[in-house]
Copies of this chain bind each other. A is one copy, B any other.
Amino acid sequence: MRSPPASCSEPRKDPMDIEQVVARAAAASRPFAQTAPRERAAALVAAADALDANAGELIDIAMRETGLGEPRLVGELRRTSNQLRLFAEVIVDGAYLDARIDDADPDYVIGPRPDVRRVLQPVGPVLNFAASNFPFAFSVAGGDSAAALAAGCPVIVKAHSGHPELSARTAGIVAGALAGAGLPDGVFQLISGQAHGVEALRDDRIRAAAFTGSTHIGTMLARIAAERPRPIPFYGELGSVNPVYVTAGAAAREQDLAAGFLGSVTGSAGQLCTKPGFLFVPAGTELDLEAAAAVAEHRLLTPGIGDAFARRRDEVSETDGVTVLSQGTVRVDDAGHANVTPVIARTDLATLLAERDRLLEESFGPLAIVVEYPDAAALPAIHRELFPGNLTSTVHAAAGDDIDALVEALAETSGRVLFGGWPTGVSVTSAMQHGGPFPATTTDATSVGTAAITRFLRGVAYQGAPQELLPPPLRDDNPWGVPQRRSPAGLSQKWGALTGAH
């Protein structure tokens, strides 16, 4: 999910004292960490309800500021509010706490064992850098905020400059709902401006940061996080080109393929982190992509994205060995917005390998390249070489195709492997993984789905604690009813029975 670098010299919309913002978050940290899951869950649901109640106004602002269409934004807001409700369920369930109890055992094989109990606790104030391309789902009230709030961490969101009014309005609604639900003051704050974001990132009281944006900016911020006197984890979602492989057996379904591919490339004008940038088909595959020319013009999110898209169109189309199937258009309107139609190019594997420096770069916007390959057996090695880190990889195969080696290569290099279907439209569920080897993400953590909450938690063990001093998830009476994993008294030697080793 990329957008061009925001300028570091962008004007400050309103002066804000970052020191005070961080101080408020730090002051909220302790009381917020002590809230019971049901209190936090109620607050998340209140925020979801408030967003839904203000949907009309929010969507109007979003359409004006982003150029995205109403149906897309209606769906995205619904996803965003239901994401908050899903995290409410996750907290109340309590499995995310990973509560572990080792009872005392004087005869433990590794030496007498004390009573040790471990639970995940919030890390403290979290700084989230919002994205441009999902003004709801990856912005102020998006997945990173939902996960951090669910974990019990105060959140400071650095607004994306692409939708400032929407950011401010969303933050007002969410902060109001959280306060109305009784959460401490300072659990949810908004700042804006790249310089302010960097200032907050350098503040010792910030304990983790999340980011969705370009590889360039993400890498810069990740280094700032790593070079602080007290380094913190930086969860950045950066670049991904999401290759799709079609076997000879599946290539026969050419009409479905063409329609699905074009839909995935052009939806939201291709401004999606999981847009399929490359479609690999057997040499000679007929794929009718003429419908690309009929796709309606779509405004891009920011002028910077428009400039980058025009540059990528020229770079790709001017490469020797590349045929342009749909050359697309870029029209800058009076307001300075870039309005574009899709660019679809075609080449062969030899050209892609020879021109990889030009062709492999992610193109944010409706641009994709069809690549003809001569030999399916070579795909696993080629994939590993060209695509070492992606959010997704996809294979379209027919029943009986031997794709084991290809799937293994895709799983090694991707966060999510799809069998059929298209990578856009990331489902928000407990099993979703939206994060893969660098540069897809700076760590292997996911930023979508309920596993994202773990990023903002750390383990704390309590040794020999009286029951009344244990956190509720670790108590024998388990007042929150969370899953508790109790260890057996010693080694079970289960491996022996299973392996025959003993």
- Known contacts: A462-B417, A464-B418, A495-B45. The answer to whether A230 contacts B389 by CB under 8 A is yes
Most buried by B among A83, A231, A431, A498: A431
Shortest Cβ gap from A206 to chain B (Å) = 13
Residue contact B430 to A495, C-beta cutoff 8 Å: no
The reply to whether the CB of A267 lies closer than 8 angstroms to some CB of chain B is no
The reply to whether the CB of A10 lies closer than 8 angstroms to some CB of chain B is no
B-contacting 9-mer, from A220-228, A303-311, A325-333, A346-354: A220-228
- Known contacts: A100-B431, A233-B443, A431-B118. The answer to whether A89 contacts B460 by CB under 8 A is no
The reply to whether the CB of A85 lies closer than 8 angstroms to some CB of chain B is yes
A451 to B101, CA, bound (A): 13
- Residues of B close to A411: CB separation below 8 A: 121, 460, 462, 471
The reply to whether the CB of A360 lies closer than 8 angstroms to some CB of chain B is no
Residue contact B485 to A95, C-beta cutoff 8 Å: yes
The reply to whether the CB of A336 lies closer than 8 angstroms to some CB of chain B is no
B-contacting 9-mer, from A108-116, A194-202, A255-263, A281-289: A108-116
Shortest Cβ gap from A237 to chain B (Å) = 14
Contact with B along A445-463 (1 / 0, CB 8 A): 1100101000000111111
The reply to whether the CB of A492 lies closer than 8 angstroms to some CB of chain B is yes
What is the size, in residues, of chain A's interface with B at 8 Å between Cβ atoms? 109
Residue contact A427 to B113, C-beta cutoff 8 Å: yes
- Residues of B close to A323: CB separation below 8 A: none
Residue contact B42 to A499, C-beta cutoff 8 Å: yes
A and B contact pairs by CB, cutoff 8 A, 30 listed? A75-B111, A82-B110, A85-B491, A85-B495, A86-B110, A89-B494, A92-B494, A100-B430, A100-B431, A108-B429, A110-B428, A116-B416, A116-B429, A117-B431, A118-B432, A118-B449, A118-B451, A207-B437, A222-B226, A223-B227, A230-B438, A231-B438, A231-B442, A399-B466, A411-B462, A417-B465, A420-B464, A421-B464, A444-B459, A445-B459
* Chain A interface residues (CB < 8 Å from chain B): 30, 33-34, 38-39, 41-42, 44-46, 75, 78-79, 82-83, 85-86, 88-89, 91-93, 95, 98, 100-102, 108-111, 113-114, 116-118, 121, 123-124, 207, 222-223, 226-227, 230-233, 388-389, 399, 403-404, 407-408, 411-412, 414-421, 425, 427-433, 435-439, 442-446, 449, 451, 458-466, 469, 471, 485, 487, 491-496, 498-502
